[in-house]
Amino acid sequence: MAEDKKSFMDELGKLAEITNTVEESFLSKGKVSVVVELPEKEYRDTISNFREVDRSQPKFTISISDVDFNFVLSK
Q: Is 31 left (phi over 0), alpha (psi -120 to 50) or beta?
A: beta
For residue 1, name the pLDDT band (cuts at 50, 70, 90): very low
What was the pLDDT predicted at 53? 79
pTM (predicted TM-score):
0.80
More confident residue, 30 or 1: 30
What was the pLDDT predicted at 28? 84
Burial of 23 from C-beta contacts in 10 A (0-12 / 13-18 / 19+): middle
Percentage of the chain modeled with pLDDT above 90:
56
**Distance linking the first and last C-alpha atoms of the chain:** 29
